[in-house]
Amino acid sequence: MDMGRHRSESNNFSVAGWVVAVFLLAIALIAAAIWWFGFRQPETPQAQECIQGDLNLPVAADGVDATALIDDYNASDPVVRDFCITAELTDSVVQAAVLLTPAGADVTELLDGRSLSSTTPVTGADAHVLTPTDGVNEEQVRAATEFARFHEDTDRTTEATSEEAPEETVTEETPAPEPAPEAVDTLILFDTSAQSVPFHDAATDALARLSLDLGAQGRQVAMWNYSSPLNPGVTQGWRTNVSFSDGTDAAAAVRLFGTGGVPQTRSAVVAAIGNAAEHSRATGQPARVLLVTSGTAQDMDDAAFAAAFEQARGDADVVLEVVHVGAGEVDAVLADVGTLTEVADPATLPDSL
């Protein structure tokens, strides 16, 4: 009898178990992806990261209980220039970045050799921001400025302004105000020394806006900054960042400046006046140098500076406008060759240019 295998007449459509498992897994993955992208609630944004790390803000106090001010500031989780700031009380003005005293107190004998950068009326006190030293760095001074702004007593600020400028009774007819001077091509010379830290941010914003405003009026703007030479082999302290142009490049460049060194102002002014004079002679139009400065670390004596200034300007129609910011000593020789505006409080700088 033939025992050979015979082919079945029916087809076998059964599917292997592993194929079914793979199919189900694919469906599960697709469902998970749909939920993730379509139905997942967005996460709560994380707090601002402190990519520069932590920084302590040393606060000194004399005649003032600073505990509440420090605690309130720390509770706000302050971040300044990507540093997480923690204010801490210190009993040494030498080691402090900010000094708290009763409102209106004379701090001359408390400074112990330190210099004031600015004074801000705060809740129940005055906050005196100090200048950098070997033991107090620029970032701590920036944080001190923000600490003062955080607690600023705007009511007292307004009262102080009103007391300083009382209204006068006009008994005669008041003449019409003179029209604002016509804008001219401007070379901005910006002090970016370590001494400028307390007003650096405010000045940056103000000068960027000024550059754009001048450009919108059809004027050209050049942007230089200066301190002292910061790199090996460099012998001059000024940097000719942007030549005379429509103001947009100057507005962008000023936001890139860092700080450091000392303000070698006089040599920078001579170079800037010479450049502005060349521009004025080339265009046949007047020009100005706008100097924003914290003071002068003397690199030229009075006579040498005065002579070099006049030689650099020559017969060109160029003026020097000096905006001195902060409590540093005003350079009287600069004031003699230009027009001087003093700004004691850096917070008012944007309204002063």
Residue type, 239: R
Residue written as tokens 């230089």?
224
The per-residue pLDDT for range 92-114, each reduced to its tens digit, is 999 999 999 998 888 888 888 88
Question: Above 90 in pLDDT, residue 118?
Answer: no
**Do you know the residue count of the chain?**
353
Whole-angstrom distance, CA of residue 306 vs CA of residue 294: 20
Q: What local confidence, expressed as pLDDT, does residue 3 receive?
A: 43
Query: Which among 207, 317, 315, 331 has a CA at the least distance from the CA of 263?
Result: 331
Whole-angstrom distance, CA of residue 132 vs CA of residue 140: 8
Q: What local confidence, expressed as pLDDT, does residue 225 receive?
A: 96
The whole-number average pLDDT for the span 138-165 is 74
Report the SS3 class of residue 27.
helix
Rounded to a whole number of angstroms, the distance between the first and last alpha carbons of the chain is: 117
User: pTM to 2 decimals?
Assistant: 0.56
Q: What local confidence, expressed as pLDDT, does residue 124 receive?
A: 87
CATH numeric code, 53-161: 3.40.190
Q: What local confidence, expressed as pLDDT, does residue 353 receive?
A: 65
Please answer whether residues 140 and 57 qualify as being in contact, where contact means their C-beta atoms are separated by less than 8 angstroms.
Answer: yes
**Domain 185-351 listed as CATH 2.60.120.10:** no
Q: How far is CA 1 from CA 4, 6, 9, 134, in A?
A: 9, 14, 21, 112
- Which residues touch 149 (CB under 8 Å, ≥6 apart)? 120, 347
The whole-number average pLDDT for the span 306-323 is 95
Most confident by average pLDDT, 32-46, 112-126, 258-272? 258-272
Q: Where are the domains of the chain?
A: 53-161, 185-351
Considering the chain, what percentage of its residues have pLDDT values greater than 70? 76
Domains 53-161 and 185-351 alike in fold = no
DSSP string across 152-206: B-HHHHHHHHHHHS------SPPPPPPPPPPP-EEEEEEE-SGGGHHHHHHHHHH
Q: How confident is the model at residue 21 (pLDDT cuts 50, 70, 90)?
A: low
Q: What local confidence, expressed as pLDDT, does residue 352 receive?
A: 54
Whole-angstrom distance, CA of residue 242 vs CA of residue 231: 20
